[in-house]
Amino acid sequence: TQSHSEVSRVKNLDKLQMGKHEVETWYFSPYPVEYAHLPVLYICEFCLLYYPSFTQLKRHRSKCTLLHPPGNEIYRYDDISFFEIDGRRQRTWCRNLCLISKCFLDHKTLYYDVDPFMYYCMTIKDEFGCHLIGYFSKEKESPEGYNVACILTLPQHQRKGYGRLLIEFSYELSKVEGKLGSPEKPLSDLGLLGYRAYWQEKIVELLLNSDDEISLEEIAQKTAITHGDIMHTCQALQMIKYYKGGHIIHLTDAVLEQHRKTMSKNRRSINPAALKWKPPV
Ligand code: ACO
Ligand code: ZN
């Protein structure tokens, strides 16, 4: 659902500076008009307020006391934390997050009404604070059963396995809720790549770790991935075989080879024991 005016609007800002990173924007984002034609917009990486010049940002930084996102820290393991932020309680912070995020997302209207969403923000810690890496938003009530509305890894941190961590975390929340979940459609091209990779990895992992045949239902119960997403993934990978009137999921050599490569990257994963969370009421 994209309004025509939004499609036709061209990219405005060129670059965002966040912490020590300067990144090029990809798409239009509705920052106030007085900021629209600046070559660089300077963002406080902790409170997400934005400034037209480095001097102004510096002045702000000397007064800003925030060292992590607002909200509750619901997960901490090694240097990775997740903060749960209620859009209604932290309107300004969440709106500013959406403005940043819109710079890298084109296929959705980002809701300026942040109230109906919770924001799950992932940070990495060093001696200066908890730096934002990415986040996903989630409707407080989703009649369609979506467990993610929007998901983003900040571009300076992409392709390092953080998107996978965000996705994994979203399914851990669904497991606690006792529900299956799926990301809101449509997915962007990058979103689809990220999700396909995750679904594939989880399904293959389960197939490898089960001696007996495993049913679609069992895969869904263990991963919180919906039947539809499991089926699509297996179909795309040609892992469905029709056998005696039913279908079975089986591993192919090509899929196994790909799985071996993924595993050899030795990327981080979420430690479910470090999640301290109850579904918000
Ligand atoms: N090209 C090819 N494959 C990719 C790419 C890419 N550019 N990006 C991710 N993948 C696949 C790969 O298989 C990758 O594994 P690999 O690096 O081992 O090959 C796998 O996804 C996981 O990649 P991560 O590094 O974990 O993902 P990343 O941190 O880059 O985040 C994300 C992925 C969140 C989709 C990111 O690209 C992003 O923020 N994009 C812009 C915003 C966006 O489009 N969000 C999704 C919208 S849909 C929705 O919100 C529901
Ligand atoms: Zn600040």
* Separation between Cα atoms, residue 27 and residue 182, nearest integer Å: 25
Catalytic residue (one of 24, 184, 201, 218)? 184
Q: Point out the ligand nearest to the CA of residue 46.
A: 2
| 76 exposure class (CB count in 10 Å sphere: 0-12, 13-18, 19+) | middle
CA of 212 to the centre of ligand 1 (A): 33
Helix (H) or strand (E) holding 227: helix 227-236
Mutate to test the pocket of ligand 1, among 151, 196, 199, 269 (most ligand atoms within 8 A of CB): 151
The pLDDT value recorded for residue 55 is 97
Query: Which residue in 44, 16, 39 sits closest to 101, CA to CA?
Result: 16
Mean pLDDT for each consecutive 10-residue tract of the chain (281 residues)?
48 88 93 89 97 97 97 97 98 96 84 90 97 97 96 97 98 98 96 97 94 88 97 93 83 94 93 96 75
The pLDDT value recorded for residue 211 is 80
Q: What is the 3-state secondary structure (H, E, C) of 163-193?
A: HHHHHHHHHHHHHHHCCCEEECCCCCHHHHH
* Spans of all domains in the chain: 189-264
pTM: 0.95
User: Closest residue (by CA) to atom 2 of ligand 1?
Assistant: 193
Evaluate: CB of 201 within 6 angstroms of ligand 1.
no
* Separation between Cα atoms, residue 240 and residue 252, nearest integer Å: 10
Evaluate: CB of 72 within 6 angstroms of ligand 1.
no
* Known catalytic residue at 201: no
Number of H helices and E strands in the chain, helices first, is 8, 13
Q: What are the strands of the beta sheet with 50-51, ordered from one edge? A: 21-24, 15-18, 40-43, 50-51
Evaluate: CB of 104 within 6 angstroms of ligand 1.
yes
DSSP letters for 80-141: EEEEEEETTTTHHHHHHHHHHHHTT--SSPPPS--TTEEEEEEEEEETTEEEEEEEEEEESS
* Separation between Cα atoms, residue 262 and residue 99, nearest integer Å: 33
CATH of domain 189-264: 1.10.10.10
The pLDDT value recorded for residue 3 is 46
Query: Which residue in 237, 147, 221 sits closest to 184, CA to CA?
Result: 147
* Separation between Cα atoms, residue 261 and residue 252, nearest integer Å: 15
